[in-house]
Structure 1
Amino acid sequence: MQKENKLGVMPIDKLIWNMSLPIIISMLVQALYNIVDSVFVSWVSEASLTAVSLAFPAQNLMISLASGTAVGVNALMGRALGAKDQKRADTVAMNGLFLAFVGFVLCAVLGLTLSDFYFRSQTDVEEIIQMGNRYLMIVMGASVGIFGQMMLERLLQGTGHSILSMYTQGTGAVINIILDPIFIFVFKMGVAGAAVATVIGQVFACIFALVLNLKKNPEIHLVFRGFRPNWSIIGSIYAIGLPSVVMMAIGSVMTFLMNKILITYHSARETAATAFGIYFKLNSFVFMPVFGLNNGVIPIIAFNYGAQQRRRMIETIKRSTVYASCVMVLGMVIFQLFPGTLLKIFKATDTMMSVGIPALRIISLSFCMAGACIALGGCFQALGKSMYSLIVSFIRQLVLLIPVAFVLAQIGHSMGNDNLVWWCYPIAEVFSLGVTLLCYRRLYRTLISKLPENGPEIPA
């Protein structure tokens, strides 16, 4: 008798933490790496930290492609497993690995050819341009590790083996942290050393994740001999995943444009952009647990959608939204009470403190609304409605946040109040929450409410 998958039978509250906690822990380790990596770079010089901060949008664009593709694979595979279609689940997994390799090749070519143009479009400080070039060409040119790691970890997560993905991600991050000071200070490679440490950690994590999938993941079968791309499956993967790719890529565009606005209108110029980059490093400790929760919840919703278990789906959505909101409110409280302490981690100068403290306090007001948006966005992705997430993200970041930031920056510049620009975040998040709730209401009426509460009826 075939053993029932825990995604369909384990009590929801226990299942959410069983699936999510390992991912949350691994993502917290990843967030720790992000901060430690930038701390080491900040010890070299503020210009080094600025170079890494300006590289972030391009680096995040690469991660967007890897992660968004994995979202499509995870959701499609979860639905196949829920419907007990083993052959389709295996085919989805293999095509996901193929797409990960294609993504690596694309990003390597772009990183090696367009890096200089990218940095010169943001700043005219030659020192920052040269350091940023070296960093970005390494992390994108050798990105095979991050593409393989993210896809293979999602295969583990999508089949209920979240604890194994914690091991792989944690291993990569720890290797990264250990190698950072060696390459940066001992080998005196500076920013380039941070990039080398990053890609080595990613490659080790990728290899580890591949071994675990082959040896410890019986729910899917990876057979490389005779593999041929299935264009129908690839189309289905991107029907779900492409909106997620675009949604995350919009974040990269937003960050790029925000850096341009700050360098142009803020009196502190590059220092303001660096403070903005520090904010992104710090907020990862708040957002990563929520994203980890989300990654654990997506296969639960997808599986129970495939199994037509409406009651389990609804309970999962409700609980994950509450948990995500609680984490974000806690993060807001920390940013409100200890902004100076957080900035001092990065050897912040007096100028950096004067820019960063009000920035952290104002931007973090948006956290209390962001939790529900992220949780419901995961629901959209799990049910194959990633377009809703794309709409919300587009409205929030490009229709609202950037135009509002542009206007507030100009007003603040003329009034001598540089802090005004940061209010674009709370303003955009209020509207984002409203749009998210409208999308969920429509999804519930058109899809979720039509499912049987406790699964399909079994004929007598």
Structure 2
Amino acid sequence: MKTEAGNRLGTEKIGKLMLELALPSVLAQIVNVLYNIVDRIYIGRIPGVGAAALTGVGVTFPIITIISAFAGFTNGGGAPLAAIALGQGNKKRAEKILGNSTSLLLFFSVILMALFLIFKCPLLYLFGASAHTISYSSAYITVYLIGTVFVELAVGLNTFISCQGHARTAMMSVLIGAIANIVLDPILIFVFHLGVVGAAVATVISQALSAAWVVRFLVSEQSEIRLKFTELKPDRSILAFILALGISPFIMSATESAITIVMNHGLQVYGGDLYVGSMTILQSVLQLVFVPIGGFTSGIQPIISYNFGAGQFDRVKKTIRLMLTVTLSASLIYVVFTMLYPGVFAGMFTNDAELIKIVKKVLPVYMAGMTVFGAQSGVQSSFLGLGQAKISLCIALLRKVVLLIPLALIFPHFWGVMGVYYAEPVADIISVATAVTLFAINIPKILSVEMLEKVTHEENGRG
């Protein structure tokens, strides 16, 4: 039997459905990005050491990204598969997917926490820390790693709520944690004088509250697919399918760590600590638009997956068209604004005049290619929603591994420290053009009865 929420995904007017599902998801992601943004805003204003502390915490970004990437590995593969199963009326299989995804998240939590704690200091130096900033990096990430399991469960399982059509509930899980973080940050950092440790403690407590909310909902009768202890036993065939589809979002997130490492190294060699600090601000500004866009596409993805599973291809096409229009428009408007007023964004994170001067110079360069990147975000999400792991993986690899990392290594030999910043727009523009071309070529073949039967056969074969 298909659930009432599931039936709405297949019958409600597309525009109304997109608004209902996407708006809470966007708000959730806007709030979610505040975890890191608020930390950086407060840390950058710690009296006397703000710039160094901000740079130090920014160096931990690759580790934090890897932890989130493993959560994305699971929900990026599991949630679309669960939505497709619901579209086919197969609730039992959807619950097996949820249970196996939870087991993966718990496994990842233990392994990641242990490995990063053991190799913490060498990794931080590799990621761009210096003798001046290592104490801040080490203090922050040590506390953060203790809460790894909360991050994995909060981020990894929340998508299983939204894929059922409960976007508002999914939003609440993020909202609870973010509000707690915003309240706790100034208290722990300034009132109790804990500095970067206080910021990390606030984040861990906040993620724990979010994780508790998510798990509570998924084990309750309110959830169409329930998290059951009996479904936690690993099933190799289901795990293989989750991992096959989840590899693309995992690589998209994980390679952010590799990019940060390469860029921070180049900035440290050709510029110094302040240039490494500038990248912390640039990545924060980037998050302010592309995390909400990611929230929008995540909110829309269940509509695509459900209707594809139900064979309603016209609804899939209409959803994708509207999604691409919104993502492209949003990226264009926001990025142009950041390029026109870089000083406004620099001033959000630091009072250091020299750091602000650097950011004002490099932000317009760094963001230029992102004006059209909303198109790739929509294309990438469409492929994921349709279960096309291989194509999605190719797009993910192209921009970050094939283009951005090599360019960030090569360009500084010609343009010095500015070459690191030039690599971003060049990689973005080539990647967007390639993604749109692949989409135009492949989407007619994907939206066919033959392809749906193939995807269903593969899934059932693994299950």
Q: Is the TM value for this pair above 0.5?
A: yes
Amino acid paired to 1:183: L
Partner of 2:439: 440
Displacement, 1:215? 3.1
Q: Does 1:345 align with 2:348?
A: yes
Q: Which residue of 2 aligns with 1:426?
A: 425
RMSD after superposition: 1.9
Letter in 2 for 1:283: L
Alignment-derived partner of residue 312 in structure 2:
309
Which residue of the partner structure matches residue 224 of structure 1? 229
Match 1:98 to one of 82, 88, 103: 103
Alignment correspondent of 1:458: none
2:262 counterpart residue number: 257
223-232 vs 101-110, which moves further: 223-232
- Residue 18 of structure 1 aligns to which amino acid in structure 2? E
In the alignment, is the contact (CA less than 8 A) between 1:55 and 1:132 conserved in 2? Answer: yes
SS of corresponding position for 2:133: helix
Matches within 5 A, 1:121-136: 121-123=126-128, 125-136=130-141
Matching residue's letter, 1:34: N
Q: Structure 1 pair 447/199, CA: closer, same or farther in 2 (3 Å)?
A: same
Conserved in 2, the CA contact under 8 Å of 1:265 and 1:410?
Answer: no
> Unaligned regions of 5+ residues in structure 2, if any?
453-463
- Whether the aligned pair in 1 keeps the contact of 2:71 and 2:155 (CA below 8 Å) is yes
Normalised TM-score (structure 1): 0.93
Of 142, 146, 149, 2:151 maps to 146
- Corresponding letter in the other structure for 2:303: I
Aligned to 1:24: 26
1:107 maps to what in 2?
Answer: 112
**Pick from 38, 50, 71: which aligns with 2:40?**
38
Residue identity opposite 2:38 in structure 1:
V
Is the 8 Å Cα contact of residues 358 and 419 (structure 1) preserved in structure 2?
no
Counting aligned pairs with the same residue, the percent is 28
Q: Does 1:212 align with 2:212?
A: no
For each residue in 1:107-163, what CA deviation from the matched residue of structure 2 results, as whole angstroms up to 9, or x when unmatched? 111221111111122446324112211211221232111111113311111100010
1:294 aligns with 2:297: yes
Paired residue for 1:277, among 280, 286, 311?
280
Mapped to 2, the partners of 1:90 and 1:83 lie a distance apart of 13
Contact 1:309 1:451 in 2 (8 A): no
Deviation at residue 331 of structure 1 after TM alignment: 1.0
Q: TM-score, normalised by structure 2?
A: 0.92
Query: What is the count of residue pairs matched by the alignment?
Result: 447
Q: Residue 400 in 1 paired to residue 403 in 2?
A: yes
Aligned position for 2:412: 409
Deviation at 1:182, TM superposition (A): 1.7
What amino acid maps onto 1:249 in structure 2? A
Contact 2:25 2:298 in 1 (8 A): yes
> Paired residue for 1:457?
none
What CA distance in whole angstroms lies between the structure 1 residues aligned with 2:362 and 2:126? 24
Looking at structure 1, the residues matched to 86 and 276 of structure 2 have their Cα atoms a distance apart, in angstroms, of 45
Encode CA deviations 1:49-71: one digit per residue, 9 max, x unaligned: 01111110111011011012111
Contact 1:409 1:421 in 2 (8 A): yes
Say if 1:151 and 1:105 are closer, same or farther in 2 by CA, change over 3 A: same
How much does 1:449 deviate? 4.1
Structure 1 range deviating more: 111-120 or 399-408: 399-408
Secondary structure of the equivalent of 2:367?
A: helix
Q: Which amino acid aligns with 1:317?
A: I
Q: Give the direction of change, closer, same or farther, for the CA distance of 1:131–1:124 in structure 2 (3 Å limit).
A: closer
1:48-197 alignment, distance < 5 Å: 48-123=53-128, 125-197=130-202
1:33–1:176 contact (8 Å) kept in structure 2? yes
Q: For the Cα contact (< 8 Å) 2:311–2:449, is it kept in 1?
A: no
Summarize deviations over 1:29-80 as a string: whole Å, max 9, x none: 1223322210111112211101111110111011011012111111110110
- The 3-state SS of whatever aligns with 1:215 is coil
Instruction: Give 1:424's aligned amino acid.
Output: A
Using the TM superposition, give the Cα deviation of residue 423 of structure 1 relative to its aligned residue in structure 2, in angstroms: 2.2
Deviation of 1:226 (Å): 7.3
Alpha-carbon separation, structure 2, partners of 1:354 and 1:408: 22
**How far did 1:424 drift?**
1.6
How far apart in 2 are the matches of 1:123 and 1:302?
40
Preserved CA contact (<8 Å) 2:336 2:371:
no
User: 2:329 is matched with which residue?
Assistant: 326
Q: Which residue of 2 aligns with 1:456?
A: none
